[in-house]
Amino acid sequence: MDKFVVETSPNLQGSIRVSGAKNSVLIIMAASLLAEGECVIEDVPNLLDVHVMIDLLRSLGSEVHYDIEKEQLTTKVIDPTITDASYELTNRMRASIVVMGPLLARRKRANVALPGGCPIGARPIDLHLKGFRRLGVNVEIGHGYVEGRVDGDMHGNTIYLDFPSVGATENILMAATLAKGTTIIENAAQEPEITDLASFLTKMGANISGAGTSTIRIKGVEKLKGVRHQVIPDRIEAGTYMVASVITKSKIFVDNVLPTHLRPLISKLEEAGVIITPEGNGLYVDARNGYKGVDITTLPYPGFPTDMQAQFMAMLTVCEGVHRIRETIFENRFMYVNELMRMGAKINIDGSSAMVSGVNHLEGAQVKSTDLRAGAALILAGLVAKGKTEVFEIHHVDRGFVSIEKKLQSIGANIKRVQG
Ligand code: UD1
């Protein structure tokens, strides 16, 4: 089994380039199922999850070509009659559920294996289904599958989400593009990935307003066409490299970012005393004078992202004082804390809160990624731990970070991938 071997890396410097956003590209690929004609997607990161989505699109009748060098993906629906997404594929990636909206919209039926639990919590899809039902879809669950059927047409409606779920907002938004009449999603998620999806759909001919706010209005259209689209940069990957600079008290340039999408992170790092200076398409992160601890509460965008919680935890483990991290999005997102504690971190978990008491130093240890972002946090911890850290189960990391070891090596980090 592959592992990362990380050693103390006191002085990072240079520039690191952020790839296209995983959470955007997966949904945009799913949305290509709506197009009559070819879609060309640019800045597609070479990630395990992208390859799973390619397999899924192919199994649903799309012809897909992915040029890894050019980071360009071309996809076209050849057979629009397939409506079953198999367990073998959907089980490999939770985000697969977002094919349901496009399938219902264009093919009037979708039979998708129910996503199971995952290491960060139960992750139900009730809000997705509530939205579909409000649009007139008959939804039935049985034998591990969820089946949606539309008799006649879907009809626009007002849908209030009890929680601003990213996936539910995306799925309902895609389903509503071809429904008759107007759909209003209230308490919609406002994440930048929603805005990116809406801009892709709008180019395709959809009529959408309000994406990026809590109320999205979609006026159904007859059909959507194939288009070319460039995916936004990955704000979580950017944030992870920003924390790499901070934890090692270095100065690096993080290239290819949209600072507005990073506002919650920039503001927290500035509160910690880090100097952030935007320049061109990137920003300098200067922590050479050290950093102070901060308290964090994860929230839906524009609050602090849950996908950066673990990386900030790593940063706080070696920071003077006691600081609190509250996780409000996922019920079980502190699993990796035990791994940090094996490296000498002092963390007390009480329900959804973690109290982090800074220690002088961490010690290298053998640890395992429990999920994608946790794996990144363990690598960050390894950069400042004394001695060697071996991070196992790195397939989680490969799901969402493009060549993380090569990118970190390019700014002077002591990390290598060891095949085993
Ligand atoms: C997306 C991101 C993920 C990120 C998360 C929150 C993708 C592929 N993944 O996941 O990286 O951590 O947003 O920013 O974009 N919930 C329900 N019922 C539902 C749907 C969600 O109760 O029908 C709950 C979930 O269990 C969770 C919370 O809502 O506690 C947030 O989930 P959601 O916003 O839907 O996240 P995802 O779209 O799964």
pLDDT (tens digit per residue) in 70-91? 999 999 999 999 999 988 888 8
Residue-wise pLDDT for 241-293, tens only, equals 999 999 999 999 999 999 999 999 999 999 999 999 999 999 999 999 999 99
Residue-wise pLDDT for 324-379, tens only, equals 999 999 988 999 999 999 999 999 999 999 999 999 999 999 999 999 999 999 99
pLDDT attached to residue 121: 58
| Reported confidence tier of residue 222, pLDDT bands at 50, 70, 90 | very high
Give the Å distance between the CA of 306 and the centre of ligand 1. Answer: 10
Percent of the chain with pLDDT over 90: 93
Indicate if ligand 1 lies below 6 Å from the C-beta of 26: yes
Q: What is the chain's length? A: 420
Overall average pLDDT of the 174-197 stretch = 98
Residue nearest to atom 29 of ligand 1 (CA): 165
pLDDT attached to residue 272: 98
Contact predicate 343/379, CB 8 Å:
no
E strand or H helix that includes residue 171: helix 166-176
> What is the β-pairing status of strands 182-186 and 158-160?
parallel
pLDDT above 60: residue 118: no
pLDDT attached to residue 116: 61
pLDDT attached to residue 94: 86
Indicate if ligand 1 lies below 6 Å from the C-beta of 169: no
Q: Please identify which of the residues 1, 68, 78, 118 carries the catalytic annotation.
A: 118
Name the CA radius of gyration of the chain, rounded: 21
Rounded Cα distance, 66 and 55, in Å: 11
Indicate if ligand 1 lies below 6 Å from the C-beta of 265: no
Q: Which two tokens stand for residue 78?
A: 């050849």
pLDDT attached to residue 119: 60
347: helix, strand or coil? strand
Give the contacts of 380 (CB within 8 A, at least 6 positions apart): 240, 243, 244, 247, 311, 314, 315
**118 is a catalytic site residue:** yes
Overall average pLDDT of the 180-200 stretch = 98
